[in-house]
Amino acid sequence: MFGDGQIVADPAPILARHIDSVDRIDGSTFRVNYAFYDGPAAANRTTSGSATFHWDGSRVIVTGNTLPLKQNDVAEPLDIDNFR
């Protein structure tokens, strides 16, 4: 994500199995519809959900995240250190 032309690293993005769609709500807000693995990838089970991301001019605010809390705890963050 980018805000005012700069990469946003907080909160760190997490890797999803796939992104189903991204819906623009307005110039600074969008909803991501996604699926995450539910257990080992080999089991091929996924949990679908969505989250809304809003740039308030200084930070990203995440609301309406339907990802189960256990998924947030085990999801692998995307390493964007080289992009800062």
Question: Each residue of 22-80: pLDDT tens digit?
Answer: 999 998 898 989 887 776 766 777 788 888 988 888 888 888 888 777 766 666 666 66
pLDDT of 9 reads 67
pLDDT of 81 reads 65
pLDDT of 25 reads 94
Domain locations in the chain as residue ranges: 2-83
The rounded distance, in Å, linking the Cα atoms of 8 and 1 is: 6
Q: Residue 58: which of 20, 14, 6 has the closest Cα? A: 6
pTM (predicted TM-score): 0.69
